[in-house]
Amino acid sequence: MSRNGGGEPLVEIEGVSKRYGNIVALDGVTATVRERAVGLLGANGAGKSTLMRVMLGLIRADSGSAKVLGIDASKPAWEVRRLLGYMPEHSCLPLGMTARDLVVHMGELRGLPRRVAVLRASEVLFQVGLEEERSRLIRTFSVGMKQRTNLAQAIVHSPGLVILDEPTNGLDPAGREEMLALVRRLSTELGIAVVMSSHVLEDVARTCDSVIVLREGKVAATRAIDHTSAAVRGDVRVRIVGDPDGFARAAQELGLTVHRDGGGEDGWLVVQGSDADGVLTGVRDAACTAGVGLRELRPAGPTLEESLIGAIG
Amino acid sequence: MSAADARVSDVAYSTYDGPRAGRIAAVWSLARWSSLRALGARRGWKAKLIPITLILLGFAPALVVLGLRALFGPSALGSGGLQAALPYSDYMGAIGVVILVFSVVVTPELVCPDRRDRTLSLYFSTAISRGDYVVGKVLAALMPILLVTLAPPLILYAGNMLFAIHPLAYVERHWVDIFRIIGSGLLIGFFYALVGLAISSLTSRRAFAVGGYLAFLAIPTIVGGVLAHALNENYLRLLAFAAVPIQAARGLYPGYTDRGHLSASLWAATAVEIMVVAIIVLAVRYGRDTG
């Protein structure tokens, strides 16, 4: 899948290796990014940030090649970088500037004419929810506001692809929820393709269409993320104590779909709904209404995590 | 604006398909933003106070001389008139301390916060390279420094021309001075910009950069002066780094003299050597991966 849903891949990485002294950061990584939102998943030191920096042309790979938006990332690095957005992992914002000034400045550095940069800075700060705070110095911001400013500077120039390095790092639960929602909006509503790194599978599963798992500098697995899959919808298997038919009727009245799993001889029922929270709430309410007990409750089918663990071995 | 003119605008994110500027525009943007911030623009009045005061002090000799001429006529400045009262060749010497302090104030502000806030990785993810960054910062340092090394003597030149009996004849006789003024301003400007940035690039702490810069200029000057006097060796006066660019610039004007009998070309060579070392320091500091 390309930006337009077909044709050229957004990123093509072919046999990229990178060493820092005796440490192998990337070991023959080959990957093609076609989806509009791709997650790079891996533990600390797996090579996610190094791979992102190769894509940006910030470091040169020892071997292999990386093409981003059809441009060789190692050659005219400045040319590809002005078409990309980048949100670094660590705090790197100039604390003495206002959010608006920073976003305008970064827009200009990525090739926008000044007048356009000023207009677009207002747009993106509105989009990330900082329109009221745009004239405040960044040093007065909370961690969440800094991350949103960081995201705003990465998308101000209307990039074809934005690279987000651990965007939820250091955020509290509420800030994390907001950031994940913003990241998902980039690819689904704002038309910006996303490559996001994270060591949290849930973050990737919620925001991306596919995942590339890196382990010790190698691609360990790649998987498409089906947002309509049971795992993402939150479908569950339940085993109840009491009348299963009564439970099924109560659940169906709450808008859930219930069927017996494997014939239902051992009492398992599969409950399906539109979202995870709705399913769990419905199961609780249906059990209460039917007057039955819940003996066991499990995710229906293999989760993305189980699938990836199986692929990695 | 009446109510009828008002309209509701949707602040939606739009894609941009217009022209995108290249590296030169990015470098210029970096230089412009950096120099404005170093002068206190878009910051509190305290950040503006010192740079503006120093710029005004840089203009003070020219404004005083021209003011006296305007208020009291040609006789106020003695028999030599305006030109003799404040020769162009002496102007930089007259405001040497102002130039030094101004560069000490401005140059650390250009690079230290970028290291302290780790902004370099953000800049290098845009259209600018490490080399572009250094060029942008040198331009950013040069532009404000030229406000004290170039603008005041040009104002003096304009005043001399306007107060001359025949302004066009003055320009005809003194047109070479314009180039001397520009050359002098650029030489001193580049010297202080490069040295200031090189020293500031060694630390992320502004206070350390200021201290290091002052130590770099003051300690060799004192040591060189003492040794030159004790050993009766004039060449040691070249260690007066703060005087190096000013003496070199004075060599651009006719009638150059030096109390230590050191030639202007020797001062100029020393200035060039120091600037080359500064460029090497900048290349080393920004040439490697700064993450």
Residues 6+ away with beta carbon under 8 Å from B138: B190, B193, B194, B197, B282
Closest residue, chain B, to A54 (C-alpha): B125
Does residue B21 sit at the A interface (CB-CB below 8 Å)?
yes
- Residue A1: the pLDDT is 36
Local structure of A89: helix, strand or coil = coil
Optimal mutation site among B10, B13, B23, B123, interface A, most CBs of chain A within 10 A? B13
Residue type, B151: A
Distance (Å) from the C-alpha of residue B181 to the closest C-alpha of chain A?
Answer: 33
Residues 6+ away with beta carbon under 8 Å from A196: A37, A38, A39, A40, A163, A164, A167, A183, A203, A204, A207, A208
- Residue A312: the pLDDT is 60
State how far the Cα of B63 lies from the Cα of B215, in Å rounded to an integer: 32
A105:B29 CB<8 A:
yes
Does residue B22 sit at the A interface (CB-CB below 8 Å)?
yes
- Residue A2: the pLDDT is 37
In B, which residues are within 8 Å of A78 by CB distance?
22-23, 26, 127-129, 132
Question: pLDDT tens across B141-156, in order?
Answer: 999 999 999 999 999 9
B119:A153 CB<8 A:
no
A59, A61, A62, A64: CA torsion to nearest 10: -170
Which of B11, B113, B127 is facing A109, going by the closest CB pair? B127
- Residue B185: the pLDDT is 95
Does residue B1 sit at the A interface (CB-CB below 8 Å)?
no
Distance (Å) from the C-alpha of residue B21 to the closest C-alpha of chain A?
Answer: 4
State how far the Cα of B217 lies from the Cα of B241, in Å rounded to an integer: 5
Does residue B204 sit at the A interface (CB-CB below 8 Å)?
no
B118:A90 CB<8 A:
yes
Cβ pairs bridging A and B (under 8 Å): 113
A84:B15 CB<8 A:
no
Distance (Å) from the C-alpha of residue B198 to the closest C-alpha of chain A?
Answer: 21
Structural tokens at position B227: 């040794």
Which of B17, B30, B114 is facing A109, going by the closest CB pair? B30
Q: Residue range B248-273: average pLDDT?
A: 86
Does residue A127 sit at the B interface (CB-CB below 8 Å)?
yes
Closest CA to A114 of A102, A123, A104, A124: A104
Closest residue, chain A, to B38 (C-alpha): A96
Q: Are A247 and A290 in contact (CB under 8 A)?
A: yes
Task: Provide DSSP, A20-66.
Answer: ETTEEEEEEEEEEE-SSEEEEE--TTSSHHHHHHHHTTSS--SEEEE
Does residue B132 sit at the A interface (CB-CB below 8 Å)?
yes
State how far the Cα of A161 lies from the Cα of A86, in Å rounded to an integer: 9
Residue type, B221: T
Closest residue, chain A, to B27 (C-alpha): A109
Q: Are A62 and A18 in contact (CB under 8 A)?
A: yes
pTM metric for this prediction: 0.80
Half-sphere exposure at residue B282, Cβ-oriented, CA atoms within 13 angstroms = 23
Q: Are B123 and B154 in contact (CB under 8 A)?
A: no
- Residue B141: the pLDDT is 96
Q: How far is CA B82 from CA A19, B58, B65, B87, B169, in A?
A: 68, 18, 7, 8, 15
Distance (Å) from the C-alpha of residue A48 to the closest C-alpha of chain B?
Answer: 14
In B, which residues are within 8 Å of A96 by CB distance?
37, 43, 113, 117
Does residue B135 sit at the A interface (CB-CB below 8 Å)?
no
Residue B290 has pLDDT above 60, yes or no: no
Residues 6+ away with beta carbon under 8 Å from B165: none
pLDDT band at B183 (very low <50, low <70, confident <90, very high): very high
Residues 6+ away with beta carbon under 8 Å from A275: A233, A234
B37:A96 CB<8 A:
yes
Residues 6+ away with beta carbon under 8 Å from A80: A56, A57, A68, A69, A71, A72, A73
Residues 6+ away with beta carbon under 8 Å from B231: none
Q: Are B183 and B250 in contact (CB under 8 A)?
A: no
Local structure of B248: helix, strand or coil = helix
Burial of A200 (0-12, 13-18, 19+ CB in 10 A): middle
Q: How far is CA B34 from CA A104, A195, B27, B127, B134, in A?
A: 13, 31, 10, 16, 12
- Residue B49: the pLDDT is 92
Question: pLDDT tens across B98-143, in order?
Answer: 999 999 999 999 999 999 999 998 898 888 888 999 999 999 999 9
In A, which residues are within 8 Å of B18 by CB distance?
113, 116
B114:A96 CB<8 A:
no
Closest residue, chain A, to B109 (C-alpha): A96
Local structure of A133: helix, strand or coil = coil
| Residue B226 phi, psi dihedral angles, 5° rounding | -65, -45
Burial of A249 (0-12, 13-18, 19+ CB in 10 A): middle
Q: Are A98 and A135 in contact (CB under 8 A)?
A: yes
Structural tokens at position B205: 């702490």
In A, which residues are within 8 Å of B129 by CB distance?
77-78
Helices vs. strands in chain A: H and E counts, helices first: 11, 14
A93:B23 CB<8 A:
no
- Between strands A210-215 and A63-68, the pairing is unpaired
Half-sphere exposure at residue B38, Cβ-oriented, CA atoms within 13 angstroms = 35
Does residue B230 sit at the A interface (CB-CB below 8 Å)?
no
State how far the Cα of B284 lies from the Cα of A264, in Å rounded to an integer: 72
- Residue B6: the pLDDT is 57
Q: Are A197 and A44 in contact (CB under 8 A)?
A: no
Does residue A74 sit at the B interface (CB-CB below 8 Å)?
no
Structural tokens at position B220: 């060799």
In A, which residues are within 8 Å of B17 by CB distance?
158
Distance (Å) from the C-alpha of residue B73 to the closest C-alpha of chain A?
Answer: 48
- Per-residue confidence of chain A (313 residues) as pLDDT tens digits? 334 445 578 889 999 999 998 899 999 999 988 888 999 988 888 889 899 988 888 888 899 988 888 888 777 677 788 888 999 887 889 998 999 999 999 999 999 999 999 999 999 999 888 888 888 999 999 988 999 999 999 999 999 899 999 998 888 888 888 889 889 988 888 888 999 998 888 888 888 988 898 888 898 888 888 765 555 667 888 888 888 888 889 999 988 888 887 655 567 888 888 777 788 889 999 999 989 888 888 877 666 666 666 656 5
| B271 dihedral zone (left: phi>0; alpha: psi -120 to 50; beta) | alpha
